[in-house]
Structure formats: structure tokens, C-alpha cells
Structure 1
Amino acid sequence: MRTSWVRGRGRGRLRIAVATAAVAALCGAGLTQGGTVHAHAQSRAAETPWVVSLGDSFISGEAGRWAGNSNDSAGGYSGTDRAYDQPSRTTDERRVYGTSYDNGCNRSDSAEVNSSPAPAGAHRLNLACSGATSTAILLPEHGGRPFKSEPSQAEQLQKAVTGHPVRAVVVSVGGNDLGFEDVIVACAKGFVTPIGASPCAPTQAPEVRKRLPMMRTAAVASLADVTTAMKRAGHPAGSYRLILQSYPSPLPDGGRIRYPGEKYDRLTDGGCPFFDRDLTWAHDQLVPEISSTLASAARESGAEFLDLSRAFDGREVCSTTTVQAGPERPSGRTSEWVRFVTTGAGQGQRQESLHPNHYGQLALGACLGLHLTGTPANHRCTNTPGEGPRAMRLGPAPTS
């Protein structure tokens, strides 16, 4: 998901190709003699399995450039900017996003599939792209279209995994089909409007509920085409794990915000320009409703479900239990795990706003690793208060 609200450099100021997985089909065609076929089968059996991620910005690695947040521009924003090289004092976003920075897919080195510790030694392939809707995943014959100069992700998946063992395919989809960006913009505008500022929840909540069935349909269609692409690549259903995940809440409820009083320091310092009522609605209702809808889509599709809706509780942007970097250097134990609302005119890109940052991505990678280590089931992942992003915990996913 992407946001259009931004904030720029300096305290007190308003700052509102491709690694398509450039994977060609690697196939073992033409092996017809018995001994050669047997050798090829042994080679494939011994090959490390693949884990592949598809979908949108929450799994592509958007905002992985940032290890926490800071309003101090010195030293690579107090050490939070992983694209900054201290010795040369230069910034290069490709240090984190690689060539995917060139088309805005922003697949970071710490993206969930890359940072997951399990399965050990697996080949990891990230086909997800920031801003993708379900049409970026679907096969062309079902309405899939190229996105940011890349073919449909299901099409890429089919070509990439042909001839290779696959352990799991993990999908994050639905937020952009729902129009999450529009919701965030409306709520931020409601906060910063000079005259007549008001919460967005009363108008946005009913609109979101109207769109949830469409989001569910989009998720089911995406999973169906992933299954089809895998079958065409020689991987029938049941030979790999298909996982649909939900989204972590990027914001705390209104009772846990570090900037009380609904003043402009939420924008200028915190990067969380939202009313208490909207924060509570987003945390307590919007994110859980999205999660339960995606859980239903997973059930219909025969996929496992990984509930991430509470993975960042206490680690959200502007949460009272986190701090910005400054004199205290960034840390996975104390820093926010979400990128604050920022501007392309200052530090970073506006599309990075309200996405899991480097620490958040390490946490989600830990969640995926725990999920893949266990028996196929539906899980909810949560963090351990006071601990770093690797200390994640799994429990049963809620039933609705």
C-alpha cells in the first residue's frame, strides 16, 4: 500500500530494470535417456527449495531503507537511513532496494521473504511490487496487466519456478484494491485542514465496509491464479504451502499516542497527523476487519492464513512505547517499526510512509519463519514487549 501524505526535512516544518526477478525459465526439457532423467530427478530432489513472495508493498519491502525514524538530518538521520554511507557521506537507495528502486517496486534487502530465517538455505524470490493491486498478480487471460514495466506476477512465478522445488508461496494482496491509500489521505487531510478539521472515521468506515467484499473477491482471484501458475509450472496444489497474509496496524489507538492533545506536533514531529478517534478506528476496527476478510478469502482458496494485524502492537509510529532516534541511536528494541508520514521533498520517498521499516520487516520475516517451521495451520503473529524484531511469537489465528 502507498500513501500520498508527506513530511519533509527539519523539525517544525510541514513535509507532507527491475529485478522482475529477471528470471528466465530454467527447464530440464530434452532429457530423454533413462540415466539422464534419473540424474536430473536426483539433482532436483537435492536442490534447496524456493520460497516466493508476491503482492504489494507490505511484502515487497517498501520502507526497508529506514531503521526507525528521526527528525535529525545529521549522520544519515541519526543512523536511521540505511542508504547513507557515513565514510563517503553519500546516499544511494539502491544499497537497500537494488535495481527495483528504478521503477518504484522497492524490494528491499530486508523484505519479509529475504529476512525470514526458515527454511534455512532456501532460494528466496521476491516478485512483489509496491503499489500493486490484484491485477498486477493475475494471469493475463484473467485480466492481469503489466505493472511498473513488469509482467504479471503469476506469469513471472510460473516461469521462475518451473523445474525447481518450491516450499512456499506467500501472498500479500487486497489493501490497494480496497483503496487504503485513499482512506489514509482522507484522514490526514481531515487533521491538517485549517478550518473545519474533523475526524474521517464517520465517513470512511461505511465506505470501507462497502469495499471489503470487492477486496475479498480480488484476493480469491489472485490466489486462484497463483495456484494455476504453479500447476502449469509442475507444482500441483498440496505440493507446496500457499499462504495469504494480512496487514499489521501501522498506528496505535488514540489512547497510546506519544503526542497528546491532537496538536500539530503529531505532524511536524511525529509524522502521525491523525485524530484520536481516527487512530482508534483504524487500529481497533479497520485493520481487524481487513484481516478477517482476508482470512475468509484464504479459507475459500484452500490457503493458509497468517494474521499480522497485531504484530506491531506497541511498536507503531508515534506509540508511547517507542522513541525516535536522536541522541539515542536506533534500536529494534526501542525504535518504531513503521515509517512515519514523510515527504519526497525531504527524507525518503512519500510512498514509504506508514509501511514496515527495516525493523518491521525483520519482524515479519521472523513471523514467516515461525509459520513455515510448524505444521500447516492458520496463525497470528505477535511481538514480545521490550524485545527486538526477532522475538516474535505465534498463536492460533482468531476464528470468525
Structure 2
Amino acid sequence: MIGSRTVSTPPTARKRLAAAAFALPLLVGSLLAAGTTGAAASPGNGPTAIVAMGDSYISGEAGRWKGNSLTNSGSRDGTDRGWVSGSTYDPSKVYGATAANGCHRSDSSEVKSATGTTTALINLACSGAVTDNVFRSSNGGVSYKGEAPQADQLASVAAANDVKVIALSVGGNDLGFADIITTCATDYIVWYSYCYDDQQGVVDSKIDGAMAKVGKAIDEIRAVMSTAGYSSSAYRIVLQSYPSPIPRAAENRYSESGWSRVNTGGCPFWNRDSDWARDSLVPQIANRLKGVAAAKGAQFMDLRDMLQGHEVCARSSKLVSASQPASATTSEWARWVDSSETQGQIQESMHPNYFGQLSAGRCLALVYAQPTGNYTCRNTAGKDASGMYLSPVS
């Protein structure tokens, strides 16, 4: 059971873990910011704004957690920002009203952490969203978790604010990223087989269609902005890629054999699958998204290496404990796989946590200051979010 000190290896325990692993979604959450109502503004007038749109990797999923701890009670060694007192927890302390519908827009989400940029930091993203949830309803958009398509929400935001940048993270759920993680975890826990070989075929069969829809999402955003009176030069769209939540095999602090990766580390993946995810799958998606950005005239922010050294089970990071407090410099920046849900919800698994989101926000702020060009954003070893830096993408 992930998050427990007790190692359970019998077949019955593995079956329970497998059942939980099959439920693992890649869903994604952040507060729907103020500034979406009021007197109409026009481009160049009203409060300046950055708007986040898309899925869980930008909505703020897992922002509840400051590292990972094996302690299941109280504040979980200070990692649980949803802790109230005793055994009482309130996720709305972090996710606000979206704790209820599962969009999980956290107070530390990427856009909320992009401080020092615009007056308004507005989050429309929703954990679990696919590209269809971004399109306008008049052009195939689909409501999600009780909310209107994000492009329709953007229309109100664009009218009430002077939108400068729209950050978009989308496409991972179209590719079935959650199912990939579930399959790989289950193959480790139950079947003792690799997942990379068959899952690569799944990705290859879906990626062209997914990227076409990402391109349409950008077109839909541009249509909304044009209708609101914005010229194409009045704002920017920043399309971003996904960071890897797990390290390469050689950078994992736990042995591949035994159950430490499940019961202690929360990273139930074989070495070969880990290397495939880190050095093949994540780069493949990033490179294709870069191509979409180029074709659609958007800026590209490459986050594939953002969590380097701070991934779940990374050798250069540590679990939080009573003797090892939560730290932006030493703790993991992503949420582990808590398949038994002893701490929070399983949908938070494999997403940048509080520390990771502060870092992503710093990346966005740095790109905001660059009116042109594509960039990759990386961290500086031993530093917190202040050590994030940009390098041009060729």
C-alpha cells in the first residue's frame, strides 16, 4: 500500500493494488479567478491578464502536496496543505470551489504562481480536460464537469480584461496518458511485464489526431480573441509540453526488485519503461507540440526537463519525514502514485505538486518576459523555483 510503512507482497495485496491502479486517471485542476465579470474592457484597456487553459498539468492538480511522506496521519509531516486539524482534511483550502467538481484549480497553479507579470492571473483549465473541452460550443466544444467549454469562458475573460498571454496545456488526455500510466503501473505490480512496447503503438496510433485537435484548440482561441476585438499582435498564445514525473532508471533511488518502488516510493515502473517514458514518450509529445506551435504561430514552452532531479523516486530528492522537513530544494516536485488513496485522491498522482507548480509558474513568468521565441525551462540543482531558467529551443 503506497504511503504505508508495511510492505505487503502476497497475491491478494497485489490484486488490491492492481484494482486501484486500473482506476488511475490523469486528470488535471486552479481557482477560476476573479476578473471574468464586470464592465466590458477592450484590448489595451482594463486589467492586464494571463489566462491558463487546458488540462490538469496547468489547472493545478496535486497542488495540495509539498513533497511526499509515508506518514498517513495529521499534516503528513507538513506535506498536506489540506490538513485542518487532527484527522480532518479540507481540499478546498487548496482547490477552492473546484475541489467539488474535480477541476482542481489550485492556489499554487502555474498561472497563479506567475507573479510579477499581469494584474489578473486567471485559470480556466480543468483536470481531465481534452481538446474538445477547449473548443467553442458552437464549433464542437463539449462542457466538462459542469462547466462551459473553456473557449466560451475565455470570451467573457477577454471582454473584461486586457489579455496579454494565454498559456495552453492540452493533448495528453487525448493520447490517453492516464491509461498509459495505469497500464505501466499494473504491468509492474501484477503482470511482471513491460508496457513500453505495446503502449508506444497506442501513442503512435493516436498522436496525429491528437495534434490536429491541439491545432484546432489554438484556432478556437484565436477566433474568440478576434471576436473580442483583439488583433493577432495584441496577445500571445504559449503552448507548453509536459514534464516527466518519473526519473530515468539510473536516477531512481530504489531498486527495481522487491516492493520499495510501490510501498515506499510510489513509483511502480520497470527500469525499461521508465527510460521509455522519460527519454522517448515525453520527448515525442514535446516535439510534436513544438511542431503544432510553429504551424499555428504560437510560442512554445518546453517543460520536458522541468522536474529533472525532483521527480518521484529521483535519487537526488528525498521523502519528507519528521527529521526531513518539506523543502523546495530537497523534496520531490511531483505527486507519487497513491493507489490505495490513503492520502488524498488518486487523480493527483503523477502531477507537479506545490513545489513543481511554483516552478512552472516561474517558467511562465520568464516566457512572459520574452515577446518572441521558443524556450525550454529547466531547474538549477539545489535551488527552489527562483533557480528556473530558460534556454532557446532551436
Higher radius of gyration, 1 or 2? 1
Q: What SS does the aligned partner of 2:52 have?
A: strand
Aligned length: 375
Deviation at 1:202, TM superposition (A): 1.3
Alignment of 1:328-367 (within 5 A): 328-343=324-339, 345-367=341-363
Which residue of 2 is the match for residue 274 of structure 1?
269
Question: Does 2:154 match 1:132?
Answer: no
Which residue of 2 is the match for residue 148 of structure 1?
145
Residues 50 and 125, structure 1, Cα contact 8 Å, conserved in 2: yes
Greater shift after overlay, 303-312 or 368-377? Answer: 368-377
Q: Give, as a single letter, the amino acid of the residue that structure 2 aligns with 1:165.
A: D
Which residue of 2 is the match for residue 56 of structure 1?
55
Could you say what the CA RMSD is over the residues aligned between the two structures, in angstroms?
2.0
Question: Does 2:314 match 1:319?
Answer: yes
Rounded to whole Å, the distance in 2 between the matches of 1:78 and 1:311 is 25
Question: Does 2:373 match 1:377?
Answer: yes
Deviation at 1:205, TM superposition (A): 1.3
Deviation at 1:91, TM superposition (A): 1.4
Rounded to whole Å, the distance in 2 between the matches of 1:65 and 1:90 is 14
Deviation at 1:292, TM superposition (A): 0.3
Rounded to whole Å, the distance in 2 between the matches of 1:89 and 1:208 is 42
Alignment of 1:216-295 (within 5 A): 216-295=211-290
TM-score by length of 1: 0.89
Residues 31 and 106, structure 2, Cα contact 8 Å, conserved in 1: no
With over 3 angstroms needed to count, the CA separation of the structure-2 counterparts of 1:343 and 1:200, relative to structure 1, is: closer
Deviation at 1:19, TM superposition (A): 5.7
Rounded to whole Å, the distance in 1 between the matches of 2:155 and 2:94 is 27
| Among candidates 95, 100, 103, match of residue 101 of structure 2 | 103
Residues 55 and 129, structure 1, Cα contact 8 Å, conserved in 2: yes
Residues 134 and 177, structure 1, Cα contact 8 Å, conserved in 2: yes
Question: Does 2:201 match 1:206?
Answer: yes
CA-to-aligned-CA distance 1:151-185 (integer Å, 9 cap, x gap): 00000001122042111111000000011011111
Rounded to whole Å, the distance in 2 between the matches of 1:359 and 1:181 is 22
Deviation at 1:299, TM superposition (A): 0.8
Rounded to whole Å, the distance in 1 between the matches of 2:161 and 2:105 is 22
With over 3 angstroms needed to count, the CA separation of the structure-2 counterparts of 1:240 and 1:24, relative to structure 1, is: closer
Q: Give, as a single letter, the amino acid of the residue that structure 1 aligns with 2:67.
A: G
Deviation at 1:7, TM superposition (A): 3.8
Rounded to whole Å, the distance in 2 between the matches of 1:256 and 1:104 is 33
Deviation at 1:279, TM superposition (A): 0.2
Q: Identity percentage over the alignment?
A: 38
Which residue of 2 is the match for residue 33 of structure 1?
none
Residues 307 and 381, structure 1, Cα contact 8 Å, conserved in 2: yes
Residues 244 and 303, structure 1, Cα contact 8 Å, conserved in 2: yes
| Among candidates 386, 391, 398, match of residue 387 of structure 2 | 391
Residues 4 and 264, structure 2, Cα contact 8 Å, conserved in 1: no
With over 3 angstroms needed to count, the CA separation of the structure-2 counterparts of 1:228 and 1:206, relative to structure 1, is: same
Which residue of 2 is the match for residue 35 of structure 1?
none
Rounded to whole Å, the distance in 2 between the matches of 1:352 and 1:340 is 8
Greater shift after overlay, 205-214 or 302-311? Answer: 205-214
Residues 259 and 266, structure 1, Cα contact 8 Å, conserved in 2: yes
Rounded to whole Å, the distance in 1 between the matches of 2:174 and 2:349 is 18
Q: What SS does the aligned partner of 2:111 have?
A: helix
Deviation at 1:222, TM superposition (A): 0.6
Question: Does 2:168 match 1:171?
Answer: yes
TM-score by length of 2: 0.90
Rounded to whole Å, the distance in 2 between the matches of 1:371 and 1:224 is 21
Deviation at 1:145, TM superposition (A): 0.7
Deviation at 1:21, TM superposition (A): 5.2
Rounded to whole Å, the distance in 1 between the matches of 2:36 and 2:354 is 30
Which residue of 2 is the match for residue 197 of structure 1?
192
Deviation at 1:74, TM superposition (A): 3.8
Residues 58 and 355, structure 1, Cα contact 8 Å, conserved in 2: yes
Residues 62 and 349, structure 2, Cα contact 8 Å, conserved in 1: yes
Residues 286 and 304, structure 2, Cα contact 8 Å, conserved in 1: yes
CA-to-aligned-CA distance 1:92-111 (integer Å, 9 cap, x gap): 11100000111000000000
Rounded to whole Å, the distance in 1 between the matches of 2:209 and 2:34 is 31
Q: What SS does the aligned partner of 1:124 have?
A: strand
Q: What SS does the aligned partner of 1:175 have?
A: coil
With over 3 angstroms needed to count, the CA separation of the structure-2 counterparts of 1:344 and 1:264, relative to structure 1, is: closer
Q: Give, as a single letter, the amino acid of the residue that structure 1 aligns with 2:111.
A: V
Residues 118 and 372, structure 1, Cα contact 8 Å, conserved in 2: no
Residues 45 and 162, structure 2, Cα contact 8 Å, conserved in 1: no
Residues 135 and 151, structure 2, Cα contact 8 Å, conserved in 1: yes
With over 3 angstroms needed to count, the CA separation of the structure-2 counterparts of 1:21 and 1:151, relative to structure 1, is: farther
Rounded to whole Å, the distance in 1 between the matches of 2:97 and 2:5 is 29
| Among candidates 111, 114, 117, match of residue 116 of structure 1 | 114
Q: Give, as a single letter, the amino acid of the residue that structure 1 aligns with 2:48.
A: P
Rounded to whole Å, the distance in 1 between the matches of 2:77 and 2:392 is 38
Q: Give, as a single letter, the amino acid of the residue that structure 2 aligns with 1:111.
A: S
Rounded to whole Å, the distance in 2 between the matches of 1:94 and 1:177 is 28
